[in-house]
Structure 1
Amino acid sequence: MALPVRILSDIYNLLFPETCPGCTACLSPNENTLCTACRHQLPVTDYHVTRGNPVEKIFYGRVKVEFAAAFLIFRKKGIVRQLIHHLKYKGRQEIGTFLGKWYGTCLRESLLEKVDMVVPVPLHPKKQRKRGYNQVSGFARCIADALQVACRDDILVKTTHTPTQTFKGRPARWKAHSSFDTQQNLQLPPCHILLVDDIVTTGATLEHCVRALQKHGNVKVSIATMAVTL
């Protein structure tokens, strides 16, 4: 970096320091997205190397998935809630890419069998226009890069706009999230899809997405999320 550019960058960082979404502390020059203290406090799971983990159990008897795991534990109070909130509502899209790069390296060494593509759970177009982005997209792209496969955001669509369902029970979420489908006239060949989302709670959203994908015949689906509520 040229000296004048570096000086301007240093002045900008001094006036508008990047803060940690976990604790609001200013990040040091060698910290990326999260401060070191918050990074060490993240409740990381080992579900990607554990059969019968809590995420897989969510889908038992409901829909067939090859593999299911979540990177973090989500609690109503805690650092993961802060991260997801900043990602979804504060424009901090770098959180999704930060988590995606990290989890992508984990999934390379996981029980996940080779996949053909990564597919993010979509937002309804109205909600995406309002937010300006799909909070899952960066996470999905980074996982796809790590697995060296394509990220396809043109597979699934959300056909009905619904308010957030994060803390609603399974019946309410089932009714609200029954409006997922694949793109019109889409023909999927036999393949293995890794479906990704931000949080899995009751599993209703992901279950409907899996059902939509599996209408295409010999399509296998695995699941990876940023977090799971326990």
Structure 2
Amino acid sequence: MWISDFINLFFPEVCMGCDRSLTTGEQIICTTCRSEIPMALTHLDKDDKVKELFFARVNVETATSLFYYEKIGVVQQLIHHLKYRGHEEVSSFLGKWMAAELQNDPAFQDIDLVIPVPVHPKRRAKRGYNQVDGFGKELAAALGSRFRESVLIKKRNTINQAQLGQVKRSDETQSPYDLVEKIEPGTHVLLVDDVITTGTTLALCAKELHKNPDIKISIVTMAISV
């Protein structure tokens, strides 16, 4: 018996959506929870809810989210485990899921560079990782592009966006992000994040990236808040 089998015998892995024990072939969430997740993939709709958030704010080629995020539900549980309970593996799990949806989509075939929204060094040190790195790396691998997390930095540790009101979340006058590395002209950048609500965080990051001349930006997130 392998050590992992021995551990699972006494401490079986449980679904992060419902806390039931996972069975053979299941990872992170059980089959039942997986079937209940509200899929978004907004780029497939005529009224793209993600791209619409950036209208008249910043130029975006295409944008999409994997899931719809609700305050109660499997998606909320997954994001909570990822951001607050140390389960970094959720990021790669969701990245592989999204990669399967996008790797043959014409809109994402010319992606050159995948860049994650940065977290402040203090927050990263406390958590131990950037929660969107695994997500971005899986997308980069599937799309045949490069992953680069050093292009943007977060210079000011802001309050969690989920704790802010609508007006404060939408304030784009003082960006906490800085562009610290140049990007070659003609590059198509894929900017990735976890949950998008008003789009302010991504709009600010995109504006920094657009300081590089002649680049294109697309956006992919794990979920969009509804």
TM tier relative to shorter chain: over 0.9
Deviates more, 1:23-32 or 1:192-201: 23-32
Q: Give the alignment of 1:2-151 within 5 angstroms.
A: 4=1, 6=2, 8-110=3-105, 111-151=107-147
- Structure 2 residue corresponding to 1:168, chosen from 164, 167, 178: 164
Name stretches of at least 5 consecutive residues in structure 1 with no aligned partner. Answer: none
Return 5+ residue gaps in structure 2 as ranges: none
Q: Is the 8 A contact 1:156 1:180 kept in 2?
A: yes
**Are 2:109 and 2:143, in contact at CA under 8 Å, matched by a contact in 1?**
no
Deviation at 1:167, TM superposition (A): 4.7
Q: How many residues align?
A: 223
TM-score calculated relative to the size of structure 1: 0.92
Any idea what the Cα deviations from partners look like across 1:16-60, whole Å, max 9, x if unmatched? 211111001111122111111111111112323234311111111
170 and 189 in structure 1: CA distance in 2 versus 1, 3 angstrom threshold: farther
Listed one character per residue, the Cα deviations across residues 2-27 of structure 1 (whole Å, up to 9, x for unaligned) are xx4x2x33221022211111001111
Contact 1:104/1:146 (<8 A) preserved? yes
Letter in 2 for 1:22: G
Residue 154 in 1 paired to residue 186 in 2? no
Q: Which residue of 2 aligns with 1:224?
A: 220
Q: Deviations over 1:118-167 (max 9, x none)?
A: 00001000100011111101111111111011111011100001121125
Is residue 161–residue 169 contact of structure 2 (8 Å, CA) maintained in 1? Answer: yes
TM-score, normalised to structure 2, is 0.93
Amino acid at match of 2:192: V
> Over aligned residue pairs, what C-alpha RMSD do you find?
1.5
Whether 2:175 is the aligned partner of 1:178: answer yes
Distance in 1 between residues matched to 2:121 and 2:171, nearest whole Å: 19
* Identity across matched positions, percent: 42
Letter of the aligned partner of 1:227 in structure 2?
A
Distance 2:78 2:35 in 1: 14
In structure 2, distance between residues paired with 1:152 and 1:166: 26
**Counterpart residue type for residue 159 of structure 1:** K
Question: Distance between the aligned counterparts of 1:46 and 1:63, measured in 2?
Answer: 21
Residues 116 and 193 in structure 2, CA contact (< 8 A), matched pair in contact too: yes
Q: Which amino acid aligns with 1:107?
A: L
Residue identity opposite 1:161 in structure 2: N
